């Protein structure tokens, strides 16, 4: 709760820090009425931050002598860690960079760190059960569970539209635990006209490759009356929600609540901030990164 308050409470101040650096604001709103914040272009923002930070060295580093902020992006790209902590019914597809394999987590654990709550949780999207790549991460995401009837391959309706959270994270996590980590989104005619931000449900369906779009008559179970469209989706992980235990100064904690000397964690290496739901991973990275830097500096 304290970490959630920290991220929510410091987000605006953190934006105020980076805008004068020259970070181009694409939109003063997120485009989602359930959230607050600004929209930045990630690549342009990265350029600005790299220029402002001076020389950036890539590669391995010896991490014991200097104050260190871990920010390796969690462990979504490690099938072994995902299997161990999240326990999906089948391997989750990766909807993120392939390098976040839990290096921050293992480094801190070796130095006596504790893990947070929420290790079995993740943020992701239900994606078409088809080939897709990085350019499709947003474009092809099937983000209309709230307007669909949701069945697993055995024909069991395992989630009702009313249960789907605003971010749809809970339906993705539930899909991960159904056979094949797979589900069918079934739509009635009137659902196709519903809007999700700037697109209609029909447009989101059209963004799925044809092999994921199933004729209702060809489903492996009998479709409910009124179904006009069915899309086969798979659970895909974007980032982990559990990670290292940290305090409000972003210090990495041991199980007894004391801080590990010289070690901080930011972004989704820090765990538990959004356990039980979803909060912006970018906000978590920005606010905890600044909190860690300030703690080191002062």
Binding footprint of ligand FAD on the chain (CB under 6 A): 71-73, 95-97, 99-100, 103, 137-138, 238-239, 267-269, 280-283, 285
- CB nearer to ligand FAD: pick between 70 and 187: 70
Give the Cα separation of 228 and 269 in Å (integer): 42
Give least dist CB 137 to ligand FAD, A: 4
Of the two residues 122 and 151, which places its CB atom closer to ligand FAD in the complex? 122
Q: How far is the CB of 146 from ligand FAD (least distance, A)?
A: 18
CB of 290 to ligand FAD, least distance (A): 12
Smaller CB separation from ligand FAD, 12 or 154: 12
Q: How far is the CB of 139 from ligand FAD (least distance, A)?
A: 9
**Shortest distance (Å) from residue 180 CB to ligand FAD:** 23
- The label of the residue with tokens 């920005």 reads 286
Is the CB of 230 or the CB of 260 nearer to ligand FAD? 260
Identity of the residue, 91 or 157, whose beta carbon is nearer to ligand FAD in the bound complex: 91
CB of 186 to ligand FAD, least distance (A): 26
Closest approach of ligand FAD to the CB of residue 204, in Å: 15
Question: Cα dihedral sign for 259, 57, 102, 36?
Answer: positive
Q: Which is nearer to ligand FAD, 18 or 95 (CB)?
A: 95
Q: At a CB cut-off of 8 Å and minimum separation 6, what does 167 contact?
A: 34, 123, 277, 278
Instruction: Specify the residue, 85 or 149, whose C-beta has the smaller distance to ligand FAD.
Output: 85
């Amino acid at each position: 709760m304290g970490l959630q308050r920290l991220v929510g409470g410091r987000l605006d101040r953190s934006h105020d820090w980076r805008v004068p650096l020259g970070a181009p604001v694409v939109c003063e709103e997120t485009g989602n009425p359930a959230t607050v914040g600004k929209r930045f272009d990630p690549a342009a923002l990265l350029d600005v931050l790299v220029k402002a930070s001076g020389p950036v060295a890539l590669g391995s580093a010896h991490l014991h002598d200097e104050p260190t902020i871990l920010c390796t992006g969690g462990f979504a790209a490690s099938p072994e860690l995902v299997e161990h902590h999240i326990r999906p019914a089948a391997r989750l597809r990766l909807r993120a960079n392939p390098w976040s394999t839990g290096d921050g987590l293992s480094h801190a654990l070796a130095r006596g760190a504790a893990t947070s709550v929420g290790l079995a949780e993740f943020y992701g999207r239900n994606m078409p059960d088809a080939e897709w790549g990085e350019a499709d991460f947003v474009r092809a995401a099937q983000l209309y569970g709230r307007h669909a009837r949701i069945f697993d391959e055995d024909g069991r309706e395992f989630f009702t539209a009313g249960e789907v959270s605003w971010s749809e994270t809970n339906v993705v996590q539930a899909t991960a635990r159904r056979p094949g980590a797979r589900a069918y989104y079934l739509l009635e005619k009137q659902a196709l006209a519903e809007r999700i931000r700037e697109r209609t449900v029909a447009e989101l369906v059209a963004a799925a490759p044809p092999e994921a779009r199933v004729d209702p008559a060809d489903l492996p179970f009998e479709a409910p009356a009124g179904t006009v469209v069915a899309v086969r989706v798979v659970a895909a992980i974007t980032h982990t929600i559990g990670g290292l235990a940290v305090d409000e100064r972003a210090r990495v904690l041991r199980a007894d609540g004391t801080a590990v000397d010289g070690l901080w964690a930011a972004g989704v290496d820090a765990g538990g901030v959004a356990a039980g739901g979803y909060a912006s991973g970018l906000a978590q990275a920005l606010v905890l990164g600044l909190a860690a830097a300030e703690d080191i500096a002062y």
